Each structure stands twice: as structure tokens, then as C-alpha cells.
Structure 1
């Protein structure tokens, strides 16, 4: 009888795990059981320049293939183009059977079956949606429409928009309290975060953001805290997840602070913050907010997500076309997994595949896995000094998308990136892009063209060198950073 009872208990636990992907890790509740890492789990990465979703087996830390949602340049310039553009945001259903993928450039959210990797439906929304996530009961998907001033509420079964929640202009991302009572919606254009009652979709509180640009937000599994990042100032702000939602503290995390998430471990609950300008992830205690570790991970870390048991944190490396897997017991990187171009949001979905190989409808990365990586260093810096700027040239065939994660400059000043005739920046300089640094002296700068052919040319007459200079294209000033390799 005792053995039978134990067997029944084990079977019940197994069935519970098979029925849900929600674990005792974010975005789940601390009361949910952890789900050990297995080959049934999947890590997904939304990749904005290859317009793909990479699918990874975390047991082997191996790329299984990509789901192609769109085409690269210049195909997606066509007026007859029907695919998705700038695949960026991501969320998943509590049962683990569906992921919702947001494409900023085509104003859409695509629903994908995790068992077959097949698109179920695509819903088109307003201008520049950014992130999507399911309510904890799985009945609705809320999508922040960052190019406008509302959150779109989508029915999870019909995939139709059923409501709009008015917010301050530019809602960046929303996440829900583990009990499903509140939605926390930060802004990318206004220094104001709103708390919404999920039941009646009404704003019940506002929280002042210390600066306008919040790209990411996370709620702790125990329901006590909300952390959100401020990319423009390189800070992370924390407030009480329950009424009256008072501010707790703000941490200087570093230039190009991107995403934040939590891992519950036997040693406690810790916050992991990706800091793009440092090419690192910082780890903080959630009781006294002490910084515990700085983990070098690779170029321009972006999305962050825990495994179903908190043993690992996965990090998307935007300018390295890879995911880094961090062991939370040692806070060391244990694997790098190649993925598509410029991974943004990532999700770890426990029990995403219930049966079968789960590799249907996946294709090899192809050109999505091709990129050239360069660095720029401060002019006059000694060999071995940390290069403050990394550059990726994402291959799109004959052209590349150029992306530079620029740091180490003066805040709120105009600069340009250009192609110089000489390695030291002398001679004529052809500007590629102009930009103004944020308050942390950093910026993400993009351009497009046949740049790889110039910076890697073997012909000294046609070879050009990337530089950053003060001023604008019309009034260029002193060159301050040079191509290092």
C-alpha cells in the first residue's frame, strides 16, 4: 500500500509537470514546483535581423534549427513582401504549448506551436509592438504597442484583439504578478510606469521612472518586487510589487542596461541584469541588493531567462549571434550556443515538447548564422585596453546590417560613425551614421550597405577603416575611436 501510494504521488507530480510549463521561477510563482532541465525543454531566441526564431535543446545546449518568419534585406523592402520584419519580442503560454513572437517592423504577433514549430496564426496590431506575454491563467495575451499609447489584449484561443488598455505614450513591456492580479507596464518614451488591475483592466497606480527609456521589466517569483531597466541612463529601478507600489531603490548597473530576470536557487533568489556596454551580466541579491558577481558573457548581452529549476540563466548575445548559458551555482558561463542574427528577447519553456523529437518545420540557419565582428578602441589606447565599442556586420547577402554598441563617449553629445582612408583616421572619412549619445555616454547605432567588403578588403586602395568622431556628417570633428581589429 505504501509503495502504491508513493507511485501514485510520483505519477501525480509527473502529470502536473506534463500539464504545465510554469515553474517556481519567473514568470511563475515561488509556490510552483521547479522543473528539472530536460531535452523536452526549449530555449527560444527572437532574432531581429535574420527574422528568425532559434530553437535550442538546453540539455545538450545545442541549436536544433530556426523558424523562419521573414527574409533578410533587400527582399523585405518589396511592396509585395509578406513575411515578418524585426522579429524582437517573445512570451509563452503557461501550458508551454505556444510562444507569441512580436515583430516590430511588420506590426505583428505570431503564435507558434512549440511541439511542431508551426505558425498557428499571425495577428496584426498598431505601430511598432514591442513585447507580449500571457496572463498567468493563459486566457489572454497582452502586447505593448510601443509606437502608440496602448496595450493590445488578445484572446488566447481566437487570437483576436478584444480590448485596448490606454497607457502613457510608448508602453515598453508588461509583466504580470505571479498571482495574476496586477500587470506592470513600463514606458519607453515617458518617465511613468503604470500598474493595471488585470480583472477590470484599469490603472490602479503609477510609479515614476527615473528616466524615460525602459525596455524590460520582471516580477520576482515570490511576488514582492518588480525590477525594470533604464537603458538610457544605465540603471535598474526596483519597487514594491504590492500596494502602495512604493519605490525601494535604484542601482547603477552600467551603460546599455538591457534586460533583467530572476533565478530562485537553494542559496536564495537573485536578479540577473544584462549590461550591453560592459559585455557582462551582473548578479544582485534581492534582499539587500548587494552586487555578487560580474559575469563576462560576450558582445552586447540582451535577453535573460532562467531554466525551469533556476540552475541556469540563458542570455542572448546581440552582437555575437549566440546564447550564453550561466550556471547559477558558480555564476560562470558553461556554454555558448550559436543562433541567428541579433537575438533580442529569449524564453526558456519547460516541457515545451511532450512527445516526438520536436524538430518539425525547423530549418538550418543558413545566412542567418553569418556575421563579421569588429571592435573600436579609444584613440591612443594601449594594447590590451578594453575596447568600449563592438560592431557586428550581419550578412544579408550582398549587403550587411551594421550595428555598433557604442560606449565610452561623452553623454548627450553628437557623434558620427564613418569609413576612413587610413587606420589612424586620417584622410577623407565617409560617414555611415550620425547619433547622439544617451545620458550614459552610449548608443546603439545601425546602418546598412556593403560594408564588409570595404573593411575586409585586401586591396589597400579600396580598404576602409571604421572610426567614430565628434560632431556630425556636415561638421565632423576629432576622431575619438579607431577600428582595432
Structure 2
């Protein structure tokens, strides 16, 4: 009885939290955006460290607009990958390049750091670019070491700049960032960012149509769904839902005609025509639907109601709830095994992974994994189960037969979402604590790449997902 009372109180608490309007960043209206990435410094710069106090975009008339720095200290020995140096909103128009305010620079010597004198005026990198309303531009800077060290004693940073080229469609990866109101497009092999798509407020789950080369995004902060054309990397259409819906995650049926939206705020699932983004039906489910999973045959959808501790099973022919399955406390998300005859359910408040028969809807096993579930993925090639829990900073890997942990991967930060690249045999991991997506090799568990993105990344998906 005490346990039921505690769960009821917990549900009321989270329901109240969900009912409160969240402070979300407003969408772009009059301005555009710029995202500046810095490639890794060359080996000859290993001894160099310099510090930036500020960075600005220089307009055509010579005036400057400051952008937000994400890195203040740049070291030659930093990780050898692209870093998000700066970003910010800019008024539309023509720009001449970027200026920098440097506060210090030093070269490491045998007896300590040797300070370099700084150039008297703000160094500038010339690179003409244009900003359009509601659009984003990605600029990649490459540090030029020899041009930056003048006479071996003076420092004025010099960069080469370029706009990344478009990706081959099969290499596209996408990640939504809730507090940045963006979807970042990156190369799933190298991790390099090629473009950023501004969206509505608080973008969350993404569902991908690889045939139409289109991505659907749940815009939670504006009760809407947006469609992104992957060829033009731009929002091409928008479907408005009901005020207060707060769509969290999406699922596309196998025939690619119907989009399902788990609406956390209204305890409903929206049935949406994928072509027009018009809602055609609304289905009442349990409290706090967080995620939704469609079986491979496209006959059923499973809605994980985190606050009511249930799974609503939808018949996708009649578009009705045909069963409600009780679970442990806080079912967060689920995934099928390779043959589709087992449904694994991860819980936010329970320490057990539930193993269900999706046909009979019966619980066949409870597996102790620890509480605070956050992310779950089953590799359909090996049936290995990958899961992450809050506060652990690691990914645990479970054997599908013994249900014992057989391996782990240390992330150092909590993971919120997984995706598996079937072509590269990699696991992509969303790490909100570091605003990044890490690509981990499934064989050997080494890090293949890491991509820095906008604040509070939530979801990752990619072409060729397994």
C-alpha cells in the first residue's frame, strides 16, 4: 500500500511539472544564425596555447556583431577533432568575416611556458558570407600556425575559412538540440558538421523517411511537427497539433504513410498523414506517454506511458487501443529483439528491465539492471542489449540469453539516446552533458568520432540505421 501511495504521489509530482510551461528559447524570426567550427590544430601547434575573450562577425559596413564563444582556451594538444568554437544569431545581410579578441598566448618550452606578445589590433579572418532570415550558416575554420606566429615572438591568430560541402545522402546523421532549437546535420563516418537547420522551439524526437529523404521532427515547445528536406536541409512543411500536446517522440509506419506522435502533455497519440502533416485521428492513452514503438509488420504500436506505469497497445488498422499492459514504475521506452518475439522495456523508476511477449502481452522475465533508465537499443544483428542509466556515465551491454552484463563502455556523461549505424557497425550515443554525439565502434568499443552540437541534444538518427 505504501509503495502504491508513493508511486501515486510521484506521478502527481511529475504531472504537475509537465503541466507547467517550460522556459524555452523562442524560434528564429527576424535573424539568422552562424555556427563556427574549428578543426583540430596541426601537430606543429602542439606547444601552443591561446585564449580568446570574444569573437564577432564583421558586417559589410565594418560594424561587428558579437557571437557566443563555446571555447575560451585553445590548445594544440586538444582532442584531434572539430570543436564548436562559437555560435549566435545575426541580422540578415552580407558579412566580411570574423574578428577575435585575444587575451594571451604562450608556447610550451623546456622550462615552462613562454609568453608571446599580442598584435595591437583585433585580428580578423576575411571570409565573405551571407546571413538570411530564419536560416543558419556553418563555417569551418582551420588554424594557420605559421601565419599566426610572427617572427616567433608575436601572436595574431590566422585562420582559413570555408563552408562545408553537402553530404552524400547515405552519410547523413541528424541530431536534435532542445535548447538550441536546431537539428544538426553531420557526416556519420567522420562526425563533421555540414549544416544546421533552425526549427521551432524545443525539438525532440526525429523519425526518418530514407526513401523520400525527409526527416520529421517533434517540435515539443510549439505543439507541432516539422518536416525537413534532407537534400536542401531546410524545413519544408509544418503540421500544427493541439495547444498543450507537447509532442515528444515520433514513429513512422513501415509504409511511410502515417506518422504517430506521442503527446506527453495531453496523454494522447496523434495519427498524422505523413504527406500533408495533417492530424487525421487522436487516440487517448495513459498518463505521460514518452515514446512510441511500431512493430516491423506495421500492425501494432506500443506507447510507453511513463507516469501511469502502462503500455498502451494500438491496432494500426482500427487505430484504437486494444490493450493496456501494466509495467514496473515509469516505462520509458522499448525495443524488439531480432526475431520480434520479445519486447524489452526500460523503466525510469524501476530497477528492472521488463521482457514481454509482444503477441500475448505477457511478462516473461524481469532482469535487474538498476534504476534510472535513460536509453535502450537492441542490436538486431547480435541481439545484444545496450542500455544507459542516469548517474552512471556508462553504457551497459547485456547478453540476450543469460541477461547478464557482458561488457560496458565508459562515456563519462549520461547518455539519452542511441542509434546503430548498420553500414559502419557503430553505436551513436547522445550525451547532453557535453552537448555532443559520440560514435563508438561496436567491435573493440573504441571512439570513432565525436560531434559537438547545440545545447541539450536529445535524439540522433541516421541514414542506414540498423
- Normalised to the residue count of structure 2, the TM-score between the two structures is 0.60
What is the distance in 1 between the residues matched to 2:446 and 2:207?
26
- 1:204 Cα shift? 2.5
Query: For residues 344 and 168 of structure 1, do their structure 2 counterparts lie closer, same or farther at Cα, with a shift above 3 Å needed?
Result: same
Residue 310 of structure 2 contacts residue 331 of structure 2 at CA under 8 Å; is this kept in 1?
no
The match for 1:328 among 433, 437, 442 is 442
What is the distance in 1 between the residues matched to 2:361 and 2:190?
41
Q: Which residue of 2 aligns with 1:88?
A: 204
1:48 aligns with 2:178: yes
Q: Which residue of 1 aligns with 2:428?
A: 314
The match for 1:222 among 339, 353, 358 is 339
Q: Deviations over 1:401-434 (max 9, x none)?
A: xxxxxxxxxxxxxxxxxxxxxxxxxxxxxxxxxx
- 1:89 Cα shift? 1.4
Residue 107 of structure 1 contacts residue 125 of structure 1 at CA under 8 Å; is this kept in 2?
yes
- 1:226 Cα shift? 1.7
Q: Which residue of 1 aligns with 2:417?
A: 303
Task: Report how many aligned residue pairs link the two structures.
Answer: 297
1:130 aligns with 2:248: yes
- 1:220 Cα shift? 2.9
Q: Deviations over 1:409-460 (max 9, x none)?
A: xxxxxxxxxxxxxxxxxxxxxxxxxxxxxxxxxxxxxxxxxxxxxxxxxxxx
1:285 aligns with 2:399: yes
- 1:64 Cα shift? 1.8
1:171 aligns with 2:289: yes
Q: Secondary structure at 2:276's aligned position in 1?
A: coil
Larger strand percent = 2
Residue 94 of structure 1 contacts residue 136 of structure 1 at CA under 8 Å; is this kept in 2?
no
Q: Which residue of 2 aligns with 1:272?
A: 386
Query: Considering only CA atoms, is the larger Rg found in Structure 1 or Structure 2?
Result: 2
What is the distance in 1 between the residues matched to 2:196 and 2:366?
38
1:149 aligns with 2:267: yes
What is the distance in 1 between the residues matched to 2:271 and 2:445?
37
What is the distance in 2 between the residues matched to 1:303 and 1:232?
17
Q: Which residue of 2 aligns with 1:158?
A: 276
- 1:94 Cα shift? 5.0
Q: Secondary structure at 2:317's aligned position in 1?
A: coil
Q: Which residue of 2 aligns with 1:121?
A: 237
Query: For residues 250 and 94 of structure 1, do their structure 2 counterparts lie closer, same or farther at Cα, with a shift above 3 Å needed?
Result: farther
Residue 308 of structure 1 contacts residue 349 of structure 1 at CA under 8 Å; is this kept in 2?
no
Residue 218 of structure 1 contacts residue 261 of structure 1 at CA under 8 Å; is this kept in 2?
yes
- 1:130 Cα shift? 0.8
What is the distance in 2 between the residues matched to 1:310 and 1:255?
31
Q: Which residue of 2 aligns with 1:107?
A: 223
Matches for 1:52-63 after TM superposition, within 5 Å: 52-63=182-193
- 1:315 Cα shift? 0.6
The gaps in structure 1 that reach 5 residues or longer are 1-37, 70-83, 352-485
The gaps in structure 2 that reach 5 residues or longer are 1-167
What is the distance in 1 between the residues matched to 2:446 and 2:328?
31
- 1:235 Cα shift? 4.0
Query: For residues 240 and 216 of structure 1, do their structure 2 counterparts lie closer, same or farther at Cα, with a shift above 3 Å needed?
Result: same
Query: For residues 60 and 195 of structure 1, do their structure 2 counterparts lie closer, same or farther at Cα, with a shift above 3 Å needed?
Result: same
> CA-atom RMSD, angstroms?
2.1
What is the distance in 1 between the residues matched to 2:375 and 2:321?
24
The match for 1:233 among 350, 375, 384 is 350
Q: Secondary structure at 1:105's aligned position in 2?
A: helix
What is the distance in 2 between the residues matched to 1:52 and 1:169?
28
Q: Deviations over 1:218-249 (max 9, x none)?
A: 233421222222123354322122x2121132
Q: Which residue of 2 aligns with 1:186?
A: 304
Query: For residues 119 and 227 of structure 1, do their structure 2 counterparts lie closer, same or farther at Cα, with a shift above 3 Å needed?
Result: same
What is the distance in 2 between the residues matched to 1:234 and 1:336?
30
What is the distance in 1 between the residues matched to 2:237 and 2:256?
17
Q: Deviations over 1:270-303 (max 9, x none)?
A: 1211223111111112233221112111322111
The match for 1:337 among 439, 443, 451 is 451
What is the distance in 1 between the residues matched to 2:226 and 2:217?
5
Matches for 1:329-368 after TM superposition, within 5 Å: 329-350=443-464
Query: For residues 283 and 249 of structure 1, do their structure 2 counterparts lie closer, same or farther at Cα, with a shift above 3 Å needed?
Result: same
Q: Deviations over 1:69-124 (max 9, x none)?
A: 1xxxxxxxxxxxxxx22221111125261111112221111111112111121112
What is the distance in 2 between the residues matched to 1:255 and 1:320?
22
Residue 282 of structure 1 contacts residue 295 of structure 1 at CA under 8 Å; is this kept in 2?
yes
What is the distance in 2 between the residues matched to 1:298 and 1:90?
25
